[in-house]
Amino acid sequence: MRLSSGTYQGVTVVGLDDTSLFGRPALEQGNIQDIYADNSFVVVNDAEFAKLEDPKIGTSFELNDHRGVIVGIARVAANGLNGVPTLYTTYSRAIEYIPTTRFTISYVLAQAKNDAAIPGIKAEVAKLGYVALTKADFNQRIANFYIFQTGVGTNILLMTVISFIVGLSISGQTFYSFILENLEKFGALKAIGAKGRELVYMILFMATVTALVGYGLGIGLVTLMISIMRARLPNYAAMITFWNLGLALCMVLIIAGASSYVGIRKVLKIEPFDIFRG
């Protein structure tokens, strides 16, 4: 797409059925019937809208050496992950403006009579030089693409590592401050006969209860936020799985264990004589 300023910008063009316009987006500005006029397009107002230099109704542009005009501004429930603006037009205009590729079929959808026939189908398709995927395989392939071949997986990994480090440092500092504030009480317990093992159990018990309470509150808040977002955005894809819960629990226990270790070392070095002398 060539903008009025001369800048080139990649866009996604969605062609709607010429008769029914099924799947058309909700318009913020303009009339959907204007899409039938010559060279008409509807632009989606999303995070990528500014890349088109904030077009208005009547803004003209070039798309593959064809003239285009913005006749509407729309908003959709969920945006794509490709980072490019989206345009809507009729299907006939879309295939006219966009050159066709050498292969016009992207995939063939087939339904097996039963699950036992799937391995045989895959083998026969492989003999033809193609690949056959089940629904689960196809979804996993898409997930692997976004995780390993885009920045999504790296960003999520960085956020997780940073959150873990921040949580570890804050909880460790908080727990250590708690030990320092109650150092005299631990010394008194040691003076009246409490063994080091008992003090260790006491610290571990406090750390475990605190970690589990925090874990429960965190899971509850996350579940609440996901429920709210799903109610507002039908296509919101976040979900909580047992694997996520288990991983989060392991991270919380590691943080609790590291924080406890710092406090335990301080308590075991307490000498009751120094406490009472102070």
Q: Is 105 left (phi over 0), alpha (psi -120 to 50) or beta?
A: beta
**What is the CB-side half-sphere exposure of residue 240 using CA atoms within 13 A?**
14
**Which single residue is written with the structure tokens 């060539």?**
2
Confidence at residue 271, expressed as pLDDT on a 0 to 100 scale: 73
Q: Write the pLDDT tens digit of every residue in 201-217.
A: 888 888 888 888 988 99
List phi, psi (to 5°) of 53. Answer: 65, 40
Confidence at residue 217, expressed as pLDDT on a 0 to 100 scale: 92
**Which single residue is written with the structure tokens 């992207």?**
106
The helix (run of H) or strand (run of E) holding residue 93 is helix 91-97
Confidence at residue 176, expressed as pLDDT on a 0 to 100 scale: 79
Q: Write the pLDDT tens digit of every residue in 224-278.
A: 998 888 888 766 777 788 888 898 889 888 888 888 887 788 787 777 666 666 5
* Long-range pairs for 208-214: beta carbons < 8 A, 24 or more residues apart: 208/256, 210/256, 211/252, 211/253, 211/255, 211/256, 212/252, 214/252
Q: Binning pLDDT at 50, 70 and 90, where does residue 154 land?
A: confident
Q: Report the Cα–Cα distance between both ends of the chain, in Å, rounded.
A: 78
Total-model pTM: 0.53
Q: Write the pLDDT tens digit of every residue in 78-110.
A: 665 567 899 999 999 998 898 777 776 778 888
